[in-house]
Amino acid sequence: MSETVNAAESAAPHRYTAALAADIEARWQDFWDKHGTYEAPNPGEGSLGGDPETAAKPKKFIMDMFPYPSGAGLHVGHPLGYIATDVYGRFQRMTGHNVLHTLGFDAFGLPAEQYAVQTGTHPRVSTEANMGQMRSQLRRLGLGHDQRRSFATIDTSYYRWTQWIFLQIFNSWYDDEAGRARPIDELVAEFESGRRPTPEGRADWSDLDGTERADLLGGYRLAYASDAPVNWCPGLGTVLANEEVTAEGRSERGNFPVFKSRLRQWNMRITAYAERLLTDLDPLDWPEAIKLQQRNWIGRSEGARVDFPVETTGTGGDGAGGQTAITVFTTRQDTLFGATYMVLAPEHELVAGEGGIVPAAWPEGTREAWTGGHATPAEAVTAYRAQAAAKSDVERQADAKDKTGVFTGAHAVNPVSGERVPVFIADYVLMGYGTGAIMAVPAHDHRDFAFARAFELPMRCVVEPSDGRGTEPAAWDDAFSSYDARIVNSAGSRVVLDGLGVVEAKARITAWLEEQGIGAGTVNYRLRDWLFSRQRYWGEPFPIVYDDEGVAHPLPESMLPLELPEVDDYSPRTFDPDDADTSPETPLSRNGDWVHVTLDLGRGDGPRTYRRETNTMPNWAGSCWYELRYLDPYNDERLVDPSVERYWMGPRDGMPTGGVDLYVGGAEHAVLHLLYARFWSKVLFDLGHVSSAEPFHKLFNQGMIQAYVYRDSRGIAVPAAEVEERDGAYFLGGEQVSRTLGKMGKSLKNAVTPDEICAEYGADTLRLYEMAMGPLDVSRPWDTRAVVGQYRLLQRLWRNVVDEATGEVAATVTDDAPDEATLRALHKAIDGVRQDLNGLRFNTAIAKITELNNHVTKQPTVPRAVAEGLVLLIAPLAPHVAEELWRKLGHETSVVYADFPVADPAYVVDETVTCVVQIKGKIKARLEVSPSITDAELEEAALADPAVAAALAGGTIRKVIVRAPKLVNVVTG
């Protein structure tokens, strides 16, 4: 160290430098830990109970979407939301609220497991190490978290309750009449007593054996195993939920192809809640964009089911078939007269084998193009089904433009026109939506139009186009699907729709179908049940065992938690990503001792042998209910104490459904985590375990911190920190590189860590910078050069209060009353900052604090009241330096619970305001006037102004608009 630096330091040994900031920050972080400053008491006498007044205190429950403990560590983008919730929480503490804010870890799931596989360590070991690293990085930021309430989803004391909730869901069914979930025992009782008959085609309850009963109940349970086409991803070795598959038909994680494969898997009956998940969105204080995404995902559409009679072929091979019907779902029942053919999904059961509708031979005169070149319909159908099954979703979508399909040889009857229409199978009809069958109206649906063109099927116009194209579909380029038109060509012997508008025609035909008993108005949802099992090691084991008959039994509560066993090889079995003809193998199944057990399930049949379920739950399970466990993390008796839950989550004024007061996280969880968590919330609500039907009342999506990516001539990212700017171009060494905006991360060599910013400027500066960059919900680029601006703010604030030579309060800090202008500046800042912090507008709050501080800096002395005001205003944003200054100013207690200042309305308005005088909207003069000036006085003053008078000379005044005290606009003629 050189002498000159020593000299500078000795001149100002108490200057606010990075070293001093580090010292202050470490000291106050230790202080907060030691005093439990951020511990939020629960009402009542539970493990975290507070004093008796707690229950009466207003509360704020603030949450962040908790992180995965990834091995890469944090970059400056990660804590953006955490800092924002911390600032908001601190502001709420200073305005008298009991604030619950903590942060846990979402530690199960693919990322943690893949990282563990890559590094060759057990997932628990690497996960714990990562959590340790992230905890220390986060602690450095001074986040006001109640550490007692932090947990990880992999803690057995936590996933015990995840398993418990699974059992609750497994042991419930959705009562459509009551519109809510009920215990499955109540359904069994209804069957036993005969109050509820078993569904059609089933024997009486008393005649069913155990397997049949289990099978019947499985059709009701909210968690059930079923054989269904699922998203099988050989590259990952696991099945995936629809929400985890991209639009390209690949896995969101790893980007591997995904195939439809029929496998027995666990599902959650989220579709039972489709309507409630939709309607309950309305009162939530969420970004409209997210609500819209959920609405689209649920995809409610109103329409009708219609039966088309069709001959079956019979099973005996004697040709003696029967009558059945193809039921279709349509939103355009008004176009029923235009249905000239039908299409079934390739997977549809009526073409699956014997007893279906496929005849032995092609009907007389079947066109060559319809048969696919096959000798019999059965061959054609089998071949097409095989072809469709072998296609990955990627291929299926890539082929979407070219319609393919094959004739089944069968005909159905259009119930309104009586016309015989051919039945096709084609992969443009999806088994998972509606009934997996459609009536095709080529004139009024563009997909049917394309298919009809390709297969030369007839088209009939039944809605008269309003765009003057005529009523001959053969001459059209595409279908006419607008609702703004009249029905034509729709007069049958039994029902007539001609002349009606689309909406009236729908109502008329729906009523007629219901009368005839061949259809009904119905609501259909795009939402599918949630595929809930994964062939992975690193997840919650299912608390389910199978008996020798293969019937699933829930473990009794006393056997929870069912701990994840240690295995030698926890990596999943993966396959050639393109090989659809593979099936999953669960890591847990390799552990025979764990799988095969003898248990007494308390069913009165004593100890018996069982086989454990070897699938694990998806990583979403742990995040579906964590808000509840923050409330009561040490409760061994219950998920959460009801009175504690009611206090923090219960419905109240302005929040009819209840929930977390503020939940901040990225928009990427719009339909995954947020939909699943809402679903679990509703089940727990229905079963009486919680008082809030919604988990999160207010949701806020923070933007992403982006970073510049520099690439060399080969397009390879180069280390951003080493790039230099010269005359608007960028260079690495001698070579020019290009600059684009992208994500921040190690792979693009542009990560900036909070650690390095803290080391250079301190955590308070980092916090201020992240909050000052722009509105919280907007993405913006990181600029390390600009961080110094917030550092300077803190340095000026420090110097306004502290003597840099002595470290004591500066002599310029006086007990004198502030002058008028300073008082007004202070109260305007207080007023503005309060509103901004309440509205999460941290960037403008900082601008207002900066303005006040700049004003104070220019004054020769700093009145103590103003110094304290500044410290209190900045305390939520820069808590360490605020604590230090608060202490220096003579306060014995922490600033964390000091009262946030309240503005005096008398000083919020300026003494004089600037009035602009415009002539025809152009500014000609500015007047300093009293804020209480009347319109008449202001008009007079404006017209008397020399510049205005000069500009008006010669013209005639047509009108004068006066908006006292800010504006006069003279309109001349």
918 sits near RNA (criterion: CB under 7 A): yes
**Residue showing tokens 């300093």:** 928
Which secondary-structure segment (H or E) carries 739?
A: strand 735-743
* Identity of the residue, 189 or 821, whose beta carbon is nearer to RNA in the bound complex: 821
745 sits near RNA (criterion: CB under 7 A): no
At its nearest, how many Å lie between RNA and the CB of residue 957? 12
708 sits near RNA (criterion: CB under 7 A): no
Report how far residue 953's alpha carbon sits from residue 965's, in angstroms, rounded to the nearest whole number: 25
* Identity of the residue, 47 or 246, whose beta carbon is nearer to RNA in the bound complex: 246
| Binds RNA (CB under 7 A): choice among 400, 503, 936, 949 | 400
Piece of 187-195, 488-496, 682-690, 772-780 that binds RNA (CB under 7 A): 772-780
The dihedrals phi and psi of 41, each to the nearest 5 degrees, come to -75, 145
At its nearest, how many Å lie between RNA and the CB of residue 438? 5
Piece of 118-126, 188-196, 424-432, 548-556 that binds RNA (CB under 7 A): 424-432
At its nearest, how many Å lie between RNA and the CB of residue 632? 34
526 sits near RNA (criterion: CB under 7 A): yes
| Binds RNA (CB under 7 A): choice among 745, 789, 809, 952 | 789
At its nearest, how many Å lie between RNA and the CB of residue 491? 22
Tell me, by CB under 7 A, how many residues bind RNA.
Answer: 84
Letters for 278-317 (x = contact with RNA by CB under 7 A, - = none) are ----------xx--xx--xx-x-x-x--------------
399 sits near RNA (criterion: CB under 7 A): yes
The residues that bridge with 558 in the sheet, in sequence order, are: none
* Identity of the residue, 35 or 780, whose beta carbon is nearer to RNA in the bound complex: 780
* Identity of the residue, 128 or 252, whose beta carbon is nearer to RNA in the bound complex: 252
**Residue showing tokens 């493990």:** 47
The residues that bridge with 231 in the sheet, in sequence order, are: 240, 260
Burial (Cβ within 10 Å: 0-12, 13-18, ≥19) of residue 65: buried
**Residue showing tokens 């580090």:** 22
* Identity of the residue, 603 or 966, whose beta carbon is nearer to RNA in the bound complex: 966
Piece of 41-49, 230-238, 574-582, 962-970 that binds RNA (CB under 7 A): 962-970
At its nearest, how many Å lie between RNA and the CB of residue 299? 5
| Binds RNA (CB under 7 A): choice among 34, 195, 726, 785 | 785
Report how far residue 536's alpha carbon sits from residue 617's, in angstroms, rounded to the nearest whole number: 8
Q: Is there a contact between 705 and 782 (Cβ–Cβ < 8 Å)?
A: yes
3-state DSSP assignment of residue 701 = strand
349 sits near RNA (criterion: CB under 7 A): no
Report how far residue 213's alpha carbon sits from residue 184's, in angstroms, rounded to the nearest whole number: 12
429 sits near RNA (criterion: CB under 7 A): yes
| Binds RNA (CB under 7 A): choice among 192, 783, 819, 911 | 783
Report how far residue 835's alpha carbon sits from residue 821's, in angstroms, rounded to the nearest whole number: 21
886 sits near RNA (criterion: CB under 7 A): no
445 sits near RNA (criterion: CB under 7 A): yes
| Binds RNA (CB under 7 A): choice among 360, 520, 786, 817 | 786
Report how far residue 912's alpha carbon sits from residue 928's, in angstroms, rounded to the nearest whole number: 6
For residue 13, say if its preceding peptide bond is cis, omega within 30 degrees of 0: no
According to CB under 7 A, which residues from 198 to 257 bind RNA? 246-247
| Binds RNA (CB under 7 A): choice among 715, 734, 921, 954 | 921
738 sits near RNA (criterion: CB under 7 A): no
- Angle formed by the axes of helices 842-858 and 820-838, nearest 10°: 170
| Binds RNA (CB under 7 A): choice among 559, 599, 913, 952 | 913
Taking residue 950's Cβ as centre, other Cβ atoms within 10 Å add up to 10
Taking residue 247's Cβ as centre, other Cβ atoms within 10 Å add up to 7
End-to-end CA, the chain: 76
| Binds RNA (CB under 7 A): choice among 642, 651, 745, 774 | 774
Piece of 50-58, 155-163, 455-463, 844-852 that binds RNA (CB under 7 A): 844-852
**Which residue type, as a one-letter code, is found at position 361?**
A
812 sits near RNA (criterion: CB under 7 A): no
| Binds RNA (CB under 7 A): choice among 283, 775, 807, 955 | 775
Report how far residue 165's alpha carbon sits from residue 293's, in angstroms, rounded to the nearest whole number: 27
340 sits near RNA (criterion: CB under 7 A): no
Joined together, the tokens standing for residue 693 give 């039907």
At its nearest, how many Å lie between RNA and the CB of residue 377? 21
Distances (CA, A) of 712 to 59, 730, 732: 53, 10, 8
* Closest C-alpha among 275, 268, 267, 270 to residue 179: 275
Residues constituting the chain: 973
At its nearest, how many Å lie between RNA and the CB of residue 83? 15
Which secondary-structure segment (H or E) carries 213?
A: helix 210-218
Report how far residue 320's alpha carbon sits from residue 243's, in angstroms, rounded to the nearest whole number: 45
* Identity of the residue, 718 or 951, whose beta carbon is nearer to RNA in the bound complex: 951
Classify the C-alpha dihedral 779-782-785-786 as positive or negative.
Answer: positive
Piece of 26-34, 355-363, 777-785, 885-893 that binds RNA (CB under 7 A): 777-785
At its nearest, how many Å lie between RNA and the CB of residue 921? 3
Enumerate helices (H) and strands (E) in the chain, giving the number of each: 30, 35
| Binds RNA (CB under 7 A): choice among 671, 717, 723, 908 | 671
726 sits near RNA (criterion: CB under 7 A): no
Q: Is there a contact between 676 and 620 (Cβ–Cβ < 8 Å)?
A: yes
The dihedrals phi and psi of 607, each to the nearest 5 degrees, come to -65, 135
Report how far residue 54's alpha carbon sits from residue 60's, in angstroms, rounded to the nearest whole number: 12
Report how far residue 500's alpha carbon sits from residue 482's, in angstroms, rounded to the nearest whole number: 14
**Residue showing tokens 């298919």:** 451
At its nearest, how many Å lie between RNA and the CB of residue 406? 14
| Binds RNA (CB under 7 A): choice among 126, 162, 524, 702 | 524
According to CB under 7 A, which residues from 10 to 29 bind RNA? none
DSSP label of 65: P
* Identity of the residue, 430 or 721, whose beta carbon is nearer to RNA in the bound complex: 430
At its nearest, how many Å lie between RNA and the CB of residue 402? 8
According to CB under 7 A, which residues from 367 to 396 bind RNA? 396
At its nearest, how many Å lie between RNA and the CB of residue 401? 8
